[in-house]
Amino acid sequence: MKEYKNTGSKDTRSGFGAGLTELGKTNENVVALCADLTGSLKMDEFKENHPERFFQVGIAEANMIGMAAGMTIGGKIPFTGTFANFSTGRVYDQIRQSVAYSGKNVKICASHAGVTLGEDGATHQILEDIGLMKMLPGMTVINTCDFNQTKAATLAIAEHDGPVYLRFGRPKVANFTPEDQKFEIGKAVKLYEGRDVTIIATGHLVWEAIQAAVELNEKGISAEVIDIHTIKPLDEEAIITSAKKTGAVVTAEEHNFLGGLGESVARTLAENHPTPQEFVATQDTFGESGTPAQLMDKYGLNSAAIIKATEKVLKRK
């Protein structure tokens, strides 16, 4: 069984920062806007290198989204940065009208998504953002799993013409995807071939899915693991092909089971190849204060939860 090595734990937001720094050097049309969270979003280096292309908007996210939409008129490629909660729920109508409906080339980059935001608690831990963003016509929705993938995604979305929601997180997590990877929007990444079950994971749950697959293998269960970094447009072909092969699916995400990756997968399968599916996700609840690890454990968002879900779905085959 292939071994995925953690080359050194890093936060995905730093992957975004590294990508933005590189874009600053390579693409003069890239501009960045931030709502008073420059350090948290790792946008400092871009700011220092290109002060004329960095726009501090203050604690005023609605204005930030509108300004970003306006900057596309004149050929700029704006990257907005704030926490996921303030990037989506707080400014839903601004994104809907001024960005999505208006078809503007804005990159909404959102850190501190999900419960791994930790101690600040539920006011800041959005678990509904994937649903909010994927419901918007024309919006591309990406949730990356580690530093390298987040950096690659940041570079890739600058080349994509259209609105993008890029979701990443706060804590340091395993960095295991290749440094030189080519990030293809809408293309699933198969991490393990398997026969018995398909585990489809996104974001921080991808590393957990790898751990689960290794443990399941020891129990004699062969798990196929798919990293879905792009929730919209969804790589339906990869999902249907794998489900046809294994006949059982587990989805895993740091998001509410309503509106997340799991529902997108379920719809795809219902239409094309109905398959038993279990959902590793939060169960229509808010988060709370705690360490990221405690919260992932309490809300059932780790390899143990994936294994449990797998055992359950195998009985339904």
Partner 1 sequence: MEVQLSLKTVSIFDKKLITGHRLLCQSFLKTYFCGNKTTQFKMPDINELQDFVTQVRRDILRQVHKVNSGHPGGSLGCAEFFSVLYQEVMDHNTNFDMDGKDEDLFFLSNGHISPVFYSVLARSGYFPVEELNTFRLIDSRLQGHPTTHEGLPGIRIASGSLGQGMSVALGAAQAKKLNNDKHIVYTLHGDGELQEGQNWEAIMYAAGNKVDNVISTVDLNGQQIDGSTETVLPLGNLKEKFEAFGWDVLEIEDGNDLKQVIDGLKEAKSRTGKGKPVCILMNTVMGNGVDFMMHTHAWHGKAPNDEQLETGLSQNPETLGDY
| Least separation in angstroms between CB 35 and partner 1 | 10
Residues 232-271 that bind partner 1 (CB under 8 A): none
| Least separation in angstroms between CB 14 and partner 1 | 27
Binding mask 39-58 for partner 1 (x = CB under 8 A): -------------xx-x-xx
Q: Between 236-246 and 261-272, two packed helices, what is the crossing angle to 10 degrees?
A: 70
| Least separation in angstroms between CB 76 and partner 1 | 5
Binding mask 65-104 for partner 1 (x = CB under 8 A): xxxxxxxxxxxx-x--------------xx-xxx--xxxx
Most distant CA pair in the chain, distance: 59
User: How many alpha carbons fall within 13 Å on the CB side of residue 155?
Assistant: 18
Q: Between 205-218 and 303-315, two packed helices, what is the crossing angle to 10 degrees?
A: 60
Q: Can you say how many angstroms the Cα of residue 213 is from the centroid of all Cα atoms in its chain?
A: 21
| Least separation in angstroms between CB 159 and partner 1 | 18
Binding mask 13-42 for partner 1 (x = CB under 8 A): ------------------x-----------
Measured distance CA(124)–CA(212) in Å, rounded: 29
Active-site entry in 3, 48, 61, 218: 61
By 3-state DSSP, what share of the chain in percent is helix, strand and coil, each rounded to 5? 40, 20, 40
Q: Which is nearer to partner 1, 71 or 261 (CB)?
A: 71
Partners of 230 in beta bridges: 142
Cα distances (Å, whole numbers) of residue 53 to 72, 74, 76, 87: 13, 14, 10, 20
Task: Answer yes or no: 3 catalytic.
Answer: no
Number of residues that bind partner 1 (CB under 8 A): 32
Q: Kindly list the catalytic residues.
A: 61
Interface with partner 1 by CB under 8 A: which residues? 31, 52-53, 55, 57-58, 60, 62-76, 78, 93-94, 96-98, 101-104
